[in-house]
Structure formats: structure tokens, C-alpha cells
Chains A and B, each alone.
Chain A
Amino acid sequence: MRPLAAAIETKQLTKTYKSRIHGKINVVDSLDLHVEEGEIFGFLGPNGAGKTTTIKMLLSIIYPDAGEGYVLGKEIGDMSVHRLISYVPERPYYYEHMTGLELLKFYASLFGINDQALFVRLLEKVNLHRDMSKTISQYSKGMQQRVGLAQALLNDPKLMFLDEPTGGLDPIAHREIRDLILSFREEGRTVFISSHELSEVELICDRVAIINKGVIARQGKLTDLLRGGRVEVTFEGVTEQWLKDKGMRDSHVRTIAGGVLLDTTEEEDINALIDAARSNSGRIVSIVPRRKRLEDLFIQTVTDAPAAAAKKTITVEESTSV
């Protein structure tokens, strides 16, 4: 048992599969992950990057081949931690013959809980209390996802694993799930979300890690990772050449209808330039900050494959077995 420093901590966690064609493949390769308590952590990556494999290892559903991992301070594989965590799998399937209420009763019984008031309260929280007598087969995708979140709250978990919680949902359901996840943070829970719904992650996550081909390519606070956006300033009364002569780095200047557009980085001293333009009879038409988006960062990280691939170990064996 480790001191409770982080909700999740992994060191060099590795999972290897054998393939008849490719030999040994490190699906997750030397993963170092650090998730703080009480935060919403986004675990991002393209399909097949190793997101679900990592979650399964953290839940002891599959076993790592190397490295170590701790969930709420306890080594993975320690079943006592399962009383404090919960999981909603990707595209969840629940026993269709059960009603929403029966489903909660079933999962609660696995914890030894039998509290009708709790079941109703949770169904109210996910806005399913009016449909608690309908069978799961009558639920829409969004309703199934919401009943999944309700079952994940039965044991009042400290840490929740949500695998693609908004995958395949319509915009209204997206918003409902997003609001619920935000409410989990307000309740003091740690939420670990695996997703490639980047706009969603950008809206709700405090920190993210991007995994590509089994390797963590980036990890950190979203505000830090997205720092260094660009600014577009439109001038009137100054020429394109005058702006170019200012010699700003990593900047583009072009004449547009109604002025001259300067596209530059946030790091440049825009205020000094604006003052200079004004003293030169220039006028500022608009200043538009263009924040770096998570999508840009993600694509840049994922397409920057050589760096990640270089770290990845693929051992090809002559003879393999499954």
C-alpha cells in the first residue's frame, strides 16, 4: 500500500500481446500516468492506441506484463479498491430483460447494498426516474448511458472510469452526460475519461494524456498544453510593408478588404505594435485571439508518429503462439 498521493499512478506499465503476424506487440508500452485526486482526467488517443487496455489493467480485468500501477494508493489487483471505484464501459450493454430499477438493484447487490431510496435518488440524478419501470431494451442509447452512470454511482465511488462516455450519442444526450460528469467533480470524485471526443474533453477535463501506439506522447494540464495560441489583428491606415518592417517572428501579414491583417503568436508584444501603429495614424479594427485547440494538439501529436514510434518496442518472433 502506497501513501495516497494520487488517484492513479502507473510506472512503466506494459501490456504485450502475441500476434501470429506481428509477433510480440506492446499494446501499452512503459506507461507513466499520474492522475490527481478530484480532477477530471482525459485519456485521449486514436482507435487502438491502448486506452481501453490501460483501463482494463487498472481494473484488474487483464494483467500487466511489466511495470506497476496504483489505484487510490493500492496496487492494481487489490480487490478491496473495487469498493471505491466504478466503471462504465464503452458502448455498454446491460441485461435487457431488467428494468432500470432492477438493474440498479442487481449491481447494488454485488456490493451488498439494498437501499430503495438510493436507487430512486440515483435514477432522479440521471433523469430516469420516470422511466425506471421500463426495461433496458426500451431505453434509447442515451438512456442506457445514463443508467450506466447511475449504476456507477451506487457505491459512492472516489474514482470513476468512463470509457467513451459520449460515444455515438446525439447532442442533447452529449450535454446531459457532460453535465453529469461535471457534477461528479463537484462532488469530489476523480473522473478518468477515455475518449476521442476532443471538443467534449476540452470543455470538461482539467488534465489530459495523449496516448499513441501504446506510448504516452503528451501529458499535462490542459491550460499548459494549449498555451501559445495566435492573435489576428486587423489594422487600418498602415501598409502591409510597414507591418512587415516591424520584423515580428512567426507572423504573417496580408492585405484584406478594409485593412491589413497581422497573424502572429501570443508571445509577441502586440501592445507595443498597436501603440506604434496608432502614433503612425493607424487604427485598430479588430483583435481576435485564436486559442490553440485540443484537436490541433491531438492531431499534431498523433501525426507526429515517428517520435512515438521510435519509443515503441515491437519484437518479432520467428514462431509465435496465441
Chain B
Amino acid sequence: MRSRCLAVAAALVALVPACGVIRGDDERGGGVRAPGVTAEPCPFAVDKKKGCIYLGTVSDLTSGPFAALAVPITDAQKAFWARVNKAGGIGGTYEVDVTTYVRDNKYNPEVHRQVYNEMKDRVLALAQTLGSPTTAAILGDLKAGSVVAAPASWTSAWEFEDVIVESGSNYCVEAMNSVDYAVEAHKPRSVMAVHLAGDYGADAAAGAKIAARRNGLTFTDVETPSGATEQGRAITEITKRRPDLVILTTGPADAATIVGQAAAAGFRGRFIGTGPTWNPALLKSPAAPALKALYEQSSPGRPWNADTPGHRAMREALPGVTPNDGYTSGWAWAYPMKAALEAMVAGGDVSRKGLLAAVRKLRTVDYEGMLPPEAGNYADDPDTAIFRQTVVNRVDDKAPTGVTIVKDFYVGPTARAYTFDGPCFAKL
């Protein structure tokens, strides 16, 4: 019996390396010009005469808390690069593949590192690395290998990393602008930040704290765990202290529980949720009336139905999908990578170092109107380059993604005056 078990175990161990081949991870043959760059065409090439640039994607595709956003982000980026390839590719010599190396991180930093290690020798750069703590787990490796990566997160830490090509304002700026907007619109005297731990929630909370101090408002910080059933303390703190404004930086299910139960307990203050806190499915929850009455949604960009060339191109490239601003974010995040790849190919150094050098020279990026061009500044020092405009939306169940703009791209006095000398979350 023992020997049979050993035999089965040995067979399973033998299967592990084979899995790579089953997935199609085999080393590509001749024509490799740099890691992730081949003279051979991409697997689904539009023009077989062009070479291929492989970009990796590590995202929360199944069971993590942001899967509802991550899958649309990933699908939008596949559509974005398919459009680029159809339009002639990069510099007329390469097409881009973002479908071969797509892996699930389950929003777990350890899994993130593991799947990145599996693909890192086969991709030139990362088209997407989702999550702040997950990306932090591979950051050292990215820097050591000069691997440029487009994040699917907005933590302020990315402003200080050369290899990360972020788009849109970070959570810290977003929360600063939300507080400044609320000071104009709702005249609060007290602010509470209810947030998840780490460089997502704490980044926004730090921004709210900085803005509250600047506006002379009292500030309370409430860290809450993830999970709808774990929000009892956050609800108690809100209903007991009754702040005029709550900056909410959680997952969508947590937000519905907090807003719904706080409102049911008689709380009538305002909530402003940070970007990933929203999901249109919340409008089907029992918290919907409370969300419509008390909740607004800040975001680093305009929603799905905005009228810009970039938004129109996205909608045309994604026919029939259920609108979700994961698509909008994913599409917008891809523009700086496209600009950097074009500059790299034009410069002649098609390599990781060549791509990083191209990124360091980008002062503007054409986002086709989705974001102002200056959102793509990676050349200047962080404090100069940081993009400080955000949007505030209200809940609108008639809008495709459940929100419509109430305040278009806007910089509040706090964000305008603040000097960024390090990640905000470290200052909470």
C-alpha cells in the first residue's frame, strides 16, 4: 500500500513540470530577441509578418474580493490590444499578445509571486498586476529585472517606483479631493475614514486625514476587516460617533453592509466611497435605498458611458458586455504601456531596459480623452508628476454602471498644495 501511495505521489510530482507544457508555457524556439519578444508572429496574429511582444497579466480572476472588477479589467485589456494589433501593431513591426500569459492571483501575494515567477522569463512586461499588496510582493523582482508593469490599483506607492506605469490619481489624492468636495457640497464638521488595512484602505484614509486637518475638521480613523459579517464594529463606530462624512475604502459587499445598516440605525451623514468600493450590483442589495440617499462615489476617471473617443472605442470593442467600470479602468490603464512600447520600438532598443528608458521619457500620454494627457507623466519627479484630478459620481440606477458624474475632473485645494514625499499610507 505504502509503495502504491509513493508511486502515485511520484507520478503527481512528475506531472507538475509537465503542466507548463500543457498550458503552452513551453520555451519558444528561435527568433527570441529579448525576454517576451519574438520575431515569430503572435499566436493569434493579425499580420503574420510581424514579430510578437508578450505581456503578462496577473489578476484576481476567480475567488478574490476584487474578481468582479478584475475580470472586466482583463477582458478590456485583451480588447484594447486586439484593437492596437488591428490598427497596425507597435511601430509597424510587432503585435502584442496579452492572452498567453494570464494567471489568477486569488488576491494572495504569495500566489501572485508564484505565478509571476512562472511567467517572468517569457514576458517583456506586465500589462496588468492587480492589487497593491500583491504587486508589492513582486516589486523587488520587477525593479531588479527592469520589468515595467501597469498596475491595477491606485496606491500612492506607485508614484515612487520607476517600473510602475500607473494611470489616474492615487487613493490618497482621491480621498483628499473627496473631503474637499464634501466641504463645498455638504459642509461637514467631522470626517471618519472607514477602511481596510494596507496600502489600499490606509492610503485613502491618510488622504482623508490630511484633507480633514487642512479643512479644520475632526478626524477619526476606523480600520475594518474584509467581510460583510465583520462590519459590526465599523457600523457601531459610525452610529456612535455620527461623523458628518465617512470616506469608505472597502470591498463592495462591506460597503453595502456598512451603509445599509448605518442608515437603518438612523445615521444621516454622507458617505463617499473610493473607486474599488463600488459595484453596480449593490443596487440590487437591500442597501440600495440607503446608497441612493447617502452615498457618492469618487473615482480616478469618468464612468463607462462618458463621451470621449477612448470611451467610445472601448464600448465598440466590447459589444454586448454588461457595463462595468472595471472595463473602463482596464482600458485606460493600457494607454501608457502602448505609448512606452511605441517609443521603445522607435528608439531601436527592444528590450526590458529599452522599455524602461522609454517610460522614463514619457511626459504625456494620449488617453484618447479618457484621462488628461498629463496623467501619463513618468519623467518628472514624483511630486511634479503625480496626477491630482479625480471625479465624483452620484448613485444613479438608470446609468449603465449605476453612477453618473456630479463633479468632473477636479483638484481640491488640499491635493493641489500637498507635497508628496513618500507613500501616504505610511503617514496614517
User: Does chain A bind chain B?
Assistant: no
Interface residues of A (CB under 8 A from B): none
